[in-house]
Structure 1
Amino acid sequence: MSRTLQGATWALRVQFFVAGALFATLGVHVPSIKSHYGLGEQALVIALLASGIGSVLTLLQAGRVLARHAPKRVAPIVALVCAGAVGSLLAPSHYGLLLGLMLVYGTATALFDVAINDEAAALERQAGRPLMSGFHGMFSLGGMAGAAAWSLLAPAGVSPTAHSVGAAAILGALAIAASPFMLRQSRGGPQGLAPLSLPRGPLLLLGLMAGMGLVAEGAMYDWSVLYLRQELGSPAGIASLGYACFSAAMAAGRFGGDWVRARVSPVALLRTSGALGALGMALALVIPHPGAALAGFALVGLGFSNIVPVLFSVAGQLPGIAPAHGIASVSSVGYAGLMAGPPLIGFIADARSLSAGLLVVIVFAVVVAACARRAFDGTPGLHVSR
C-alpha cells in the first residue's frame, strides 16, 4: 500500500472514531437532556425521533451530494455541524430549539456516515483488499471511548454541559485535522449512474438485511440491561455488563473482520454471522442465568459485527451505481430498521414478555443468513473477497 493510501486509511479511521464518539456523547446525555428541558417520556421520544427523521430524509439525497462533492470536502463540514449540534444540546432551554438541534444532528450525522463509508469503499477498491470492517471497528471504539469518558468525568464533578462542549470541540478538531489526508477524488455526477438514493432492486434487499442487522444493535442498546434486571433478576452491577459484553465482542469482531473477509466468501460470512447471532440470542433466552445471557449477548455482538460492513461494501461496488448512491440507499433502509426495531420489541414485550420480544433478533438473524446468497445474485463483476 502506498504512503498516500496509508495516510488516507488512517485519516478515515479517525473520521469513523469521531462519528462513533459523537454518537455516544449524545447517547450518554439523553438523561441530561430530559432533565435539562424537564421532558416527559413522550416529549423525549419526539426529540429523538426528530434526529431519526432528519437522518432518513438526508439519506435519500446524500447520493446526490456525494456525486458532486468528494468525501474529503463533505466530511469535515458535516462533522463540524454534527459536533456543533452535540455541543449545543444543553445550551438552550426552549423545547423547539432542542427539536431543531436534533434535526440538524440527524441530518449532519447521516451525511457524515455516507461520506466516510463512500471513502471506505473507494479505499477498498484502490487497496485491493478488505478494509470496511476495520473502519466500522473504529466507530465501535469511538462509541466505547465516548461513553467511557463520561463515566470517568461525571464522578469527578464535570457538568454534562462542560463535557458535551469539550467532547464536541475535541472531536470536531480531530475531524478537521484528519481531512487533508483523505483521498483526492474528482466528482461531477457521471452519466449512467443512479440519480437518486432510493432503494430498489438489489439495493432494497441489501438495505432490508442491513436493517435487520441494525435491529440487533438497537435491541442490545435498549433492552439488554433491562432483560438481565427484569427477566433474570440480576443485580445492577451484573446487568450493566449486558451491553458492554455485546459492544466489546462487536468491536473485536469488526477489527478481525477484514482478515476473515480476505479468506471467506461474503455469502459464507453472512450465513455464519446470522447463525452465530441467532445462536447467541437463543443461548441468552433459553438458559435463565446471567452468565449464559452475558455469553449470549457477546455471541450476538460477534455474529452481527460484520453484517453491516459487508453489506455496505457490496452496496459501494454494485455495477452501474455510484458508491455514494448505493451506500445511501442501503443506509436509509438500515436506519429505518434501527429506529423501528426497538419499539417493535417493546410492543411485543408489552403484549407478551421481553423474552418474546427478543425473539425478533433470532428471526432476523436467520433471515439474513437465508438471504445471503440472494444478496449477491445478479451482480456480475462484483469484486468480493473469497
Structure 2
Amino acid sequence: MIGSISSTPARAARIAVSALFFLQGLCFASWASRIPALQQSLRLDEAQLGSILFALPIGAMVSIPVAGWLVARYGSKVCVISGAACYAVVLSSIGLAQTPWQLGLALVLFGCASNITNIAMNTQAVSVEAEYGRPVMASFHGYWSLAGFAGAAIGWGMSKLEWSPFRHFACITVMDILTLLVVSRFVMQQDVVARRTRTRFTWPGKMLLMLGLMAFCAAICEGTMDDWSGVYFKKVVLVSALLDGAGYVAFKGASAAARLAADFFTARFGRTQILQACGILTAGGYLMVICLPYFITATLGCLLVGAGVSIIVPLINSAAGRSTQLHTGLALATVSTIGNMGFLIGPPLIGFVAKYNGLQIAFIIIALLGACITVLASRVKT
C-alpha cells in the first residue's frame, strides 16, 4: 500500500514540497549573502545594521498566529503558493531600499511572508509524510539547508560580478515564480492530517507545550552557532581571520547531511530515541568546543552540534503536525511561537553573559539547554 501511494501523487507532492523548501532557503540565503553590500550602500554602522536586522524576526513573530489561522481557514496549498510568491517579490523589494526605514519595513514584510510560507510548507510536509506512512520530514529541511549553500555561492558570484542586490534578487524572484507555476499543480490538495483535527484555537495541551520547549532550546542552540561561532573561533580558539569561519562551515555542512540522512534513522529507531540522541550530540558538541578550544577539536565540536540540533525541529514539526487537539497549521504555529522565542532571547543572553563572564561560560549555558532536549524528549510522546 505504501509503495503504491509513494509511486504516484504522494511522490509528486514530495518532489513539489522539496522544491518549495529549496526555494525558500534560496531566497533567505540570497538576502543574507548581500547584507554587506546593503550595509555599504545605505552607509549603516554595525549598531544601525543590528537594529534593522531585528525587523525580520519581529515580522516572523507577529505573523505566527495569523499564519496558523490562514492555513486552518484556507488550506496549506493556497497559503504556501501565495506565501512563497510574496516571499520572492518582497526579496526584490529589499534590493530597492534606499533608506534604513525602507529596508526595515521590507524586512518586516519578508519575515511575515517567510512565516506564512513556513507554516503552510510544513503542513504540506506533514500531509506528505502521512501519505507515505514513514518519516520523510527531515529530508525536506535538508533541501532548505542545501539551498543555503547554493544561495551563498550565487551571492558570492553576484558580488564578484558587481551586480546590485536588486538585480541579483530580481533574478531569484523570477526563477522562484516560474518554479512555483510548475510545482503548484503537484502539492497536496488537502491537508491529510488536518481533516482529523479541529480548526478553532484552544489552549495547547501538555504535548504541544513540551514540543515547543524543545524547539525553544534547539533555537537557542542553533542561533548561538549561527551568530557566535565565528566570534568564538576568533577570540577563544585564537585562529586567523582566514579560519574563523571553519566552525560555522562544519556546523552547516553537518546540518545538511544530517537532515538528508535523518529519515532513515528515525524510521529505524523512532522519534523519541533520535530526539534524545540529538540532545546528547548537541550538548556534547558544545562541551567539546568549551573544554577543548583548539582548532581541530572545536571544529569537530561544531560538526557534532550541527548533526544534533539540525534534526530536532523537523522531528518536532512532524510530531506537532499529528496532534489531534489543534488543526495542523495551528499546532505548528503554536510550537513555532514558543520555539522562535529562542531566536529572540538567545543573542542578547549570550552577549550579556559573555560580556561579564566570557564566551566559554555562555556556551556552558547553551550546552545545558542541549541536555534539556534529551530530558524533555523522554517525557513527551512523539
TM range (shorter): over 0.9
What is aligned with 1:253? Answer: 258
Shift of residue 98, structure 1, vs aligned partner: 1.8
CA RMSD for the aligned pairs? 1.9
After TM superposition, the score normalised by the length of structure 1 is 0.92
Decide which moves more: 105-114 or 341-350: 341-350
What is aligned with 2:72? Answer: 67
Secondary structure of the residue aligned to 2:378 is helix
Q: Distance in 1 between matches of 2:211 and 2:323?
A: 11
After superposition, the C-alpha distances for 1:343-380 in whole angstroms (9 at most, x for unaligned) are: 2111111111112222232111100001112221xxxx
Q: 1:75·1:112 contact (CA, 8 Å) conserved in 2? A: yes
What is aligned with 2:159? Answer: 154
Shift of residue 43, structure 1, vs aligned partner: 2.9
Letter in 2 for 1:29: R
Q: Distance in 2 between matches of 1:176 and 1:192?
A: 30
Q: 1:63·1:197 contact (CA, 8 Å) conserved in 2? A: no
1:10-25 matches, cutoff 5 A: 10-25=15-30
What is aligned with 1:280? Answer: 285
What is aligned with 1:343? Answer: 348
Shift of residue 186, structure 1, vs aligned partner: 6.8
1:193-342 matches, cutoff 5 A: 193=198, 195-196=200-201, 201-342=206-347
Shift of residue 33, structure 1, vs aligned partner: 2.5
Q: Distance in 2 between matches of 1:74 and 1:198?
A: 24
What is aligned with 1:380? Answer: none
Letter in 2 for 1:7: A
Shift of residue 47, structure 1, vs aligned partner: 2.0
Shift of residue 44, structure 1, vs aligned partner: 2.2
Q: 1:67·1:322 contact (CA, 8 Å) conserved in 2? A: yes
Q: 1:133·1:255 contact (CA, 8 Å) conserved in 2? A: yes
Question: Which of residues 170, 174, 187 in structure 2 aligns to 1:182?
Answer: 187
After superposition, the C-alpha distances for 1:71-114 in whole angstroms (9 at most, x for unaligned) are: 22111211111111111213131332222211111110000000
Shift of residue 116, structure 1, vs aligned partner: 0.5
1:375 equivalent in alignment to 2:380: yes
Letter in 2 for 1:146: G
1:117 equivalent in alignment to 2:137: no
What is aligned with 1:381? Answer: none
Q: Distance in 2 between matches of 1:27 and 1:304?
A: 21
After TM superposition, the score normalised by the length of structure 2 is 0.93
Q: 2:198·2:324 contact (CA, 8 Å) conserved in 1? A: no
Q: Distance in 1 between matches of 2:212 and 2:302?
A: 24
What is aligned with 1:165? Answer: 170
Q: Distance in 1 between matches of 2:211 and 2:128?
A: 21
Letter in 2 for 1:159: S
Shift of residue 194, structure 1, vs aligned partner: 5.3
Q: 1:62·1:197 contact (CA, 8 Å) conserved in 2? A: no
Letter in 1 for 2:239: S
1:359 equivalent in alignment to 2:364: yes
Q: Which residues of structure 1 form unaligned runs of 5+? A: 377-383
Q: 1:249·1:298 contact (CA, 8 Å) conserved in 2? A: yes
Letter in 2 for 1:27: A
What is aligned with 2:3? Answer: none
After superposition, the C-alpha distances for 1:232-271 in whole angstroms (9 at most, x for unaligned) are: 2111222122211101101111100000110112221111
Decide which moves more: 194-203 or 151-160: 194-203
Secondary structure of the residue aligned to 1:85 is helix
Q: Distance in 2 between matches of 1:347 and 1:359?
A: 14
1:50 equivalent in alignment to 2:50: no
Q: Distance in 1 between matches of 2:84 and 2:222?
A: 23
Q: 1:199·1:330 contact (CA, 8 Å) conserved in 2? A: no
Secondary structure of the residue aligned to 1:255 is helix
Decide which moves more: 30-39 or 82-91: 30-39
Decide which moves more: 150-159 or 9-18: 150-159
Q: Distance in 1 between matches of 2:251 and 2:104?
A: 31
Aligned pairs, number: 376
Q: 2:197·2:324 contact (CA, 8 Å) conserved in 1? A: no
* Identity over aligned pairs, percent: 30
1:108-147 matches, cutoff 5 A: 108-147=113-152
Q: 2:205·2:325 contact (CA, 8 Å) conserved in 1? A: no
Q: Distance in 2 between matches of 1:324 and 1:39?
A: 38
Q: Distance in 2 between matches of 1:66 and 1:323?
A: 8
Q: Distance in 2 between matches of 1:194 and 1:69?
A: 11
Letter in 2 for 1:96: W
After superposition, the C-alpha distances for 1:270-297 in whole angstroms (9 at most, x for unaligned) are: 1111111111111111112111111110
After superposition, the C-alpha distances for 1:306-357 in whole angstroms (9 at most, x for unaligned) are: 1111110000001232111111111111112122212211111111111222
What is aligned with 1:89? Answer: 94
Q: Distance in 1 between matches of 2:46 and 2:203?
A: 33
Q: Distance in 1 between matches of 2:191 and 2:224?
A: 40
Question: Which of residues 77, 83, 107 in structure 1 aligns to 2:82?
Answer: 77
After superposition, the C-alpha distances for 1:41-66 in whole angstroms (9 at most, x for unaligned) are: 33323322222121111111222111
Q: Flag the 1:155–1:324 CA change in 2: closer, same or farther, 3 A.
A: same
Q: Flag the 1:323–1:192 CA change in 2: closer, same or farther, 3 A.
A: closer
Secondary structure of the residue aligned to 2:126 is helix
Q: Distance in 1 between matches of 2:204 and 2:131?
A: 26
